[in-house]
Structure 1
Amino acid sequence: MMGMKSLIAATALFTALTMGGQAAHAAGDAIHYEKQDWSFSGLFGTFDRGAAQRGLQVYREVCATCHSLDYISFRNLAGLGYSEEEVKAIAAEYEVEDGPNDEGEMFTRAGTAADRFVAPFANDNAARASNGGALPPDLSLIVEARAGFEDYIYALLTGYGEAPEGVNVAEGMSYNKAFPGHQIAMAQPLYEDGVTYADGTTASVDQMARDVTTFLTWAAEPNLEERKRTGVAVILFLIVASGLFYASKRKIWADVH
């Protein structure tokens, strides 16, 4: 929800270790991530709602198995173009722990629009136990918590492959050309036709990577478009104000030689 780089700098310090315990910004291990063409880039860029909705589907069917989305509530999905009824329907697919009840017991209920996305594990220890000791990072702010931002996420998701000759990949690790150190504990998550898109779009690895990156960029800063509109309005105001100030100055000092 927060898109401020100052906050992200602090977040990055905590999240700098990815699954496998390797430093994401290790000295001397910098990687150049090719700049991609994103609809939300630039001063007037906006989110592609279709891509973001497909990205939500990829997150729910693939990423949510291991990764949480702790800072996003179901009602926030209205920002992606979902109707109130659609948001309620999505939320109701989840079971949320609530309570205590009158007997002091916790219970589960269907999710509501006010609830946040349900984490795949009860706690960090359970997450580590299910992932060979590695803690899958929460994805709410992951785009802005990594050097390279959205280009890094896309590069990581499409960067899996066979290790070059002479490179030994440790047991339980996968080779990824976009990951610092090139060995990552997260197995390749995306495969051709890994999901069946509701809108009929072909689910190639590239398409799924772009879509889920768009969704995660929105999750990190859902107010991006509003912030851009505000910025444009402020710039226009300053331009007009500068013109008025200059005209006033010329008129006031016109008789002074």
Structure 2
Amino acid sequence: MIRLIGILTGLFFALMAVWGFGTGLATVISDGQLKEATAEHEFHLHPRDAELASDGAFGKWDLAQLQRGMQVYKEVCAACHGLKFVAFRDLTALGYSEAEVKAIAAGFQVPGIDPNTGEANTRPGLPTDYFPSPYPNSVAAAAANNNAIPPDLSLMTKARHDGGNYVYSLLTGYRNVDTFSIDGKKVKEEFPEFSTPPNTHFNPYFANLNIAMAAPLTTEGQVTYAEGQPKATVDQMSRDVAAFLTWTAEPKKVKRTQVGWPVMGFLLFATILAWMAKNQVWAAIKPKKKPA
């Protein structure tokens, strides 16, 4: 009787799983997700490999690149995007001295309070402060950017699939919609109804192909790197700021990887040791033979 109940219970759950799959498939079809291809589906590109030093199982931070990326953020990206989860003092991990961190912090205006009147004001940043938003609130941000609120970049590379590569590809991916093609197929020829609305810009690395942000990096030398550093091409600046934003999103990434390998080695050794101990303990005990 118990076996019969078990079989019926298993059959019930199997039927429920099949029913759920069928319902989901019907919903997808009814929502039109399986209808004819769209421009977004056909011409959306996967991110290109930025070849960051922090990538891979043996990745490490390239401090010189992170500092260049910090410079690009400060001189270009900070005009529209904040880093609300990153404190200025965290920059010491990139090789900056305490004096340099103080100078960087002082270059930003952060919210403060007048000690005499108690009124809200702004003041130069301190190492203990966090990177401020360039706008006082979301309404002001939308008003200054055609109703498109620039996102905070602290966790951007964690919020997007293949984040570092995504940022790099997006910054270098702006194209002319009228001439852009893949395998000889042009967007306008394949989908004549597709258009780039006013105040948007065509970028095949963006999900719906049209992004509100204009290309922020457009010319070589837009940021002046220190002597001895690579030439500040659009590609190099994009790669550097992608590396920096990878660090802001996951500053312990390399440390975690470095600690992970010894831990994996220890667990492997402990597993082998436990298996050998088990064989040693039970070696003298022979299994009983079943009667014929």
Q: TM-score range with shorter-chain normalisation?
A: 0.7 to 0.9
1:34: how far off? 2.8
Is 1:252 the counterpart of 2:276? The answer is no
Identity of aligned residues (%): 44
Letter in 1 for 2:206: F
Match for residue 75 of structure 1? 89
Match for residue 106 of structure 1? 120
Letter in 2 for 1:178: Y
Q: Which moved more, 1:63-72 or 1:180-189?
A: 180-189
Q: Which moved more, 1:61-70 or 1:39-48?
A: 39-48
What does residue range 110-189 of structure 1 map to in structure 2 within 5 Å?
Answer: 110-165=124-179, 166=188, 168-189=195-216
Cα distance per residue 1:194-234 (max 9 Å; x no partner): 11012442110110010000000000000111211232232
1:38: how far off? 1.9
| Distance change (3 Å), C-alpha of 1:107 and 1:173 | closer
5+ residue gaps in structure 1? 1-25
Which among 47, 54, 64 is matched to residue 50 of structure 1?
Answer: 64
Query: Distance between the aligned counterparts of 2:46 and 2:141, measured in 1?
Result: 31
Query: Distance between the aligned counterparts of 2:284 and 2:208, measured in 1?
Result: 70
Match for residue 247 of structure 2? 218
Partner of 1:117: helix, strand, or coil?
Answer: coil
Which among 233, 238, 247 is matched to residue 204 of structure 1?
Answer: 233
TM-score by length of 1: 0.83
Larger Rg over CA atoms: 2
Partner of 2:259: helix, strand, or coil?
Answer: helix
Q: Which moved more, 1:92-101 or 1:231-240?
A: 92-101
Cα distance per residue 1:109-149 (max 9 Å; x no partner): 32111100121111111111111111001100111111232
Which has the higher relative contact order, 1 or 2, with Cα contacts under 8 A spaced 6 or more apart? Answer: 1
Query: Distance between the aligned counterparts of 2:109 and 2:215, measured in 1?
Result: 28
Query: Distance between the aligned counterparts of 2:118 and 2:163, measured in 1?
Result: 44
Query: Distance between the aligned counterparts of 1:253 and 1:39, measured in 2?
Result: 49
Answer yes or no: is the 8 Å Cα contact 2:114–2:120 preserved in 1.
yes
Q: Which moved more, 1:125-134 or 1:81-90?
A: 81-90
1:104: how far off? 2.1
| Distance change (3 Å), C-alpha of 1:139 and 1:172 | same
Query: Distance between the aligned counterparts of 2:274 and 2:128, measured in 1?
Result: 48
Answer yes or no: is the 8 Å Cα contact 1:33–1:178 preserved in 2.
yes
Match for residue 20 of structure 1? none
Q: Which moved more, 1:88-97 or 1:122-131?
A: 88-97
5+ residue gaps in structure 2? 1-38, 180-187, 189-193, 287-292
Answer yes or no: is the 8 Å Cα contact 1:101–1:107 preserved in 2.
no
Match for residue 110 of structure 2? 96
1:37: how far off? 2.0
Partner of 1:144: helix, strand, or coil?
Answer: helix
Letter in 1 for 2:271: S
Match for residue 228 of structure 1? 257
TM-score by length of 2: 0.74
1:43: how far off? 1.6
Cα distance per residue 1:22-74 (max 9 Å; x no partner): xxxx9847532233322111122112111111001000111111111111000
1:80: how far off? 1.1
**How many residues are treated as equivalent by the alignment?**
232
Is 1:41 the counterpart of 2:62? The answer is no
1:100: how far off? 5.2
